[in-house]
Structure 1
Amino acid sequence: MFNELRGQAVSDSSPQQLEVRAHASRRCCPACEAAKSSSDAYFSKTFGAGASVAAISELIADGLGFCSRHGQTLINDGVYAKQVARAYSGAIAKIRPLLQQSVIDERCQHLFFSAGHRCPACSAEDAAAAKALSLIRKRWLETMGPAEDVDALCWSHFETFVGRLAIEPRGQALQQHLDVLLAAGRSLERSPRGALSQALALLGHSSSVSEKFLQANAGTAPKPMNGFLGDPYACPVCVAIGDASSHWLEGLRWAADDVAAGCLWLFAPCCKRHVCEAARLGRPDLVARVASFALSGLAEQARQQVAGIVRELALAEQPKPVWYRPRRRRREASAAGIQPGKRFILRCRGCEAEAIALERASGTFLDLMRHARYRELLARGHGLCLQHLAHILPVAPPDIVRPFLGRLHAAHLETLQKALLSPGGETVWLEAVRRFKGWSMPSAVE
């Protein structure tokens, strides 16, 4: 049991044990499989016969549309054009009046500050994964021993799995998954190509590495925002983020090519989405190095969490001093004689690049909007997607810029709603899908 770890240093399993665990975990994450099954059937259930248009309109309005992955799936399918047009028209009817309200209005705050504006299809995937994890958790708690289903979980779903466990079972599960991560990392070192699929599955990426190169715009410089502010087809903030993403990908490729520089850590991704982006570069050698870096980082993170649980359990066994107040939950590290170690935080460099680009682009956009000529240029173009409008509008200067942005985008939505309700509305629904969420698009790509 995990009790044996109390007061001890956490040690790695033997190489023989790791090898056995490596073979046991060579399968796709069961929670990812459940999410994929839900995603495959989502649009047929949502827009198929008998589906409630009002219900999906509400979800689209709350989530500000579908993410790029599900939006592209919807566009590629193209079967439910009429139903999609009606659903987006209903969502516009809910959102458009709010753009003219004060940002302190309760309904506006729900629009502007909703938790991440979660894509409805992604929420359905999360629900399916949570259901699968509940069954896996129930089975594992019966023995709390190594289990194939638990070993196969990707890191994201494993964190959800352990998040609802009590402290001792959580430590036990973390120690077991640490063994799996170490085994996968060592297998990847011995056989990069042979063990790559297993490593990617533990990172949440189940498909094979594409042999088709994704162009990263080598040698091109992104345009300043005023150069594409009037673009009739794209949100300027989306374009800026697309440029940053391309720059990050090119940096990742350079770091992988120049091994002697030792700069891979400056660009290496570790989240599922950006590992997938790296895989799209069509470089198995690069992806193997990225996966190795991510696995080592996740292993260190798991090791740190296990050590933290050991400290917490040891602290719980200390005699309670007379001044101890349980309700305040005060704990002094010096009283327990335990010095906390340096905290390790694993960061995805792709996510960091996009987050920095979002804040820089938002600041640049607001600076440009102070000038009448740039407001006129924006009015002639596409304008902001709703996701970035919701990000920028609450912090826009309230004197001129905020009312201008509200009026402009309310007018854009009104025009789009009329087009969706017209007899040929099913031909303009593609614009609605993109206008809501907005998809990053580099300025250098024509």
Structure 2
Amino acid sequence: MTSPDPDGERARELDRLILHSWSKHGTTNPFTVARGEGVRLWDYDGREYLDFSSQLVNTNIGHAHPRVVEAIQRQAAELATVAPATTNLRRGEAAERILSTIDDMAAVFFTNGGADAVENAIRMARIHTGRAKVLSHYRSYHGNTGAAVNATGDHRRVGNEFSTGHVHCFGPFLYRSEFWAESEEQECERALQHARRVIEAEGPSTFAAILVESVPGTAGILVPPAGYLQGLRELADRHGIVLILDEVMAGFGRTGRWFAHQHDGVRPDLVTFAKGVNSGYVPVGGVIMAEHILDTFRERAIPGGLTYAGHPLAAASIVASIDAMREERIVEHAAHLGADILGPGLAALAERHAVIGEVRGRGCFWALDLVADRATREPVDASVVAQLKGLLMERGYVPFAADNRLHVVPPLVMGDDDARAGLAILDEAFAALS
């Protein structure tokens, strides 16, 4: 038996100095990661794992992609940091690359991550309209800064409600419908009517924005029914409301298109991004805006900014990431994985294991809704999910779990054989769970 790596022991010892997100200090036992390459991670004892979490669904291009690493190294030697008010070629190239992935948008406002991207999108909408209220979904997550966490609908909002002007409604989710719907068409129609009535009851002239994730991610990978996003677009147009689509998790190839809303042919006013734009190699996010929003800030200064906005290391990593994704056809590969391997493979698992109540998703963005009873759709409790996570880690599979769900969200560069290997591990773990 080999002795533990001293670096791993030291990492665990020093981890006690860190207060981890969303946790009580001293109660966590985090996975200790030494290095990553492609779709694999290694701990300090040399054990290898397939990363089916993409960490927090952000390493779209995989770990340590050589082209992105080299771009960061080259930029660090040339210009490691520069003030956000300056002009820098790499920053401009990053904006150019981002705008090349989306139609009819005019400019990019850079931030440090997804939460402050949402924060600034809300600010822009409020300034553009002169109104305050923001409508968002209960089943959503938009970040953990002031307005973003209030726009969030899930339980993490509670205890953080310090900003004002936030109104919530239920978005479509047929499997656990709030509207007694029996079809996707009914769910879409009734969810839109619900949103319409909330806006009417709150006063249409008071709303600055409708803010939704194009595909709600942490809430359960809830692919919207056909026509829903377009219905929100029509509702926003009717009342002069800005439509903000949050693509922080779903964007940059995750669903098999550059942006998830492109599946629906909808035109947003503002789009927030982070995560997959450079796979999180350097912290970055931002807001993509349409021309009419940009016009508001041609004569009026935007009242906000960040020291590291458009950081040159982040900009270099964006340029390299998007170039590599184009040349290696990574977005197209994500669509193939979803249509030909993950989608059919997960459906086959659901046929074999009664604990899987529903499979939903597209591209490399899937969720398994785990139930104690398929007839009642009662969710499994936390102990079942914890047991499943342990079984997967034992088998060298890094999972992403939330509430009663297992999300299957590998890097978009995962090969077909590795994807099939991951499905085989899932099959084994579910069998052991039963």
Q: TM-score, normalised by structure 2?
A: 0.27
Of structures 1 and 2, the one scoring higher in RCO (CA 8 A, sep 6+) is 1
Greater share of helix? 1
Greater share of strand? 2
